[in-house]
Amino acid sequence: MGNVLVLAEVAEGKLRKTTHSAVTFARDAAAQLGGTYDILVIGAGVDGPAAEAAKLGAQKVLVADDASLENYLAETYAPTVAEVGKGYQVVVGTASPFGKDLLARVAGKLDAGYASDIVSLLPQENGKLTYKRPIYAGNAFVICQLESPVEIVSVRQSAFDPAAEGDGAAATEKVAVVGPSSALDRVSWVTFNSVKSERPELTEADVVIAGGRALKEQFYDILNPLADEFSAAIGASRAACDAGYCAPDLQIGQTGKIVAPGLYIAVGISGAIQHLAGMKSSKVIVAINKDEEAPIYQITDYGLVADLFKAVPEFTDKVKAARA
């Protein structure tokens, strides 16, 4: 028997949806181990997110709440996560920037093996949890196991359906906050420059419209009306992010966000290997590119070879008409 601890992610006083994917993993892993899963909610003033977490089928919700945890730093969070986590067989979070930053540091603290960004939990082999994770920008998978008393795992959000809320509420329990490591004396949180968007989160949207270098300064002028039409999230290639046409956190790809929406529309994106790694699990893929040789067409369901500056506004109008 073994139990699983889910590291919850909180932003702006709410539980992030990233958490729900980690919970789905935890439910399956706990079932394999004949154990249960708990959720750790950590931060300052996190009663709200803890109450949300309590609806996710856990045995217990553990709450580490302290004013010192107001602004996230791995140096302040890791000691508590490690202290709580060492009582579990598996500690799991989601491979968002938060999870990637923190879980690896926790692995260091616990001298534990860490499988990052896994896409599935396979049936056990030799009585051990067995994970599958993409390597080489998704051009191969490795099947792996972890050899340490505590196993640290992060899940790829797009590969695990979000756990649904249930009716019952798990008991919540306060846990002690462990004082930060001495590294804290040398790090301070300065400011968070947030780029607000009213659109759905990229990793949760049913439709993603992604733009590339070709859009130039007209990135939003061209994409916004189409995105509005689909209530879509907007994403981008690295080249568009690097050029400053949009914020870096819109980058989709091997080294950005991984998405798998029902519909993905690539506008003026060539389809480099690193980009494909972030979207090729999408259900329906559409590309609009003026170069008929663009590699993106190797994986698109519907390819339109056209000048995007003409085709996208026309497409937007005709989608609107088709839905009317």
Binding site for ligand FAD (CB under 6 A): 212-214, 237-240, 251-256, 268-270, 272, 274-275, 278, 289-291, 294, 307-309
**Residue type for position 67:** A
Q: Which does 140 bind (CB under 5 to 8 A by kind): another protein, ligand FAD, none?
A: another protein
- Give the shortest CB-69-to-ligand FAD separation in angstroms: 31
Q: Which one of the spans 58-66, 159-167, 213-221, 281-289 is the region binding another protein (CB under 8 A)?
A: 281-289
- Give the shortest CB-236-to-another protein separation in angstroms: 12
Q: In 3-state terms, what secondary structure has residue 20?
A: helix
Q: In 3-state terms, what secondary structure has residue 149?
A: coil
Q: Which does 322 bind (CB under 5 to 8 A by kind): ligand FAD, another protein, none?
A: another protein
**Residue type for position 292:** E
Indicate if the alpha-carbon torsion angle 213, 215, 216, 221 is positive or negative: negative
Distances (CA, A) of 215 to 156, 219, 288, 312: 29, 5, 12, 11
Q: Give yes or no for residue 145 binding another protein (CB under 8 A).
A: yes
Q: How far apart are CA 252 and CA 268, in angstroms?
A: 14
Please pick, from the candidates 2, 35, 113, 162, the single residue that binds another protein as defined by CB under 8 A. Answer: 113
Q: Which does 239 bind (CB under 5 to 8 A by kind): ligand FAD, another protein, none?
A: ligand FAD
Q: Give yes or no for residue 156 binding another protein (CB under 8 A).
A: no
**Residue type for position 164:** A
Q: Give yes or no for residue 231 binding another protein (CB under 8 A).
A: no
End-to-end CA distance of the chain: 56
Distances (CA, A) of 109 to 81, 187, 285, 299, 305: 10, 18, 42, 42, 52
**Residue type for position 142:** V
Q: Which one of the spans 19-27, 55-63, 215-223, 235-243 is the region binding another protein (CB under 8 A)?
A: 235-243
Q: Which does 5 bind (CB under 5 to 8 A by kind): another protein, ligand FAD, none?
A: none
Q: How many CB atoms lie within 10 A of CB 142?
A: 12
Q: Which one of the spans 61-69, 98-106, 171-179, 220-228 is the region binding another protein (CB under 8 A)?
A: 98-106
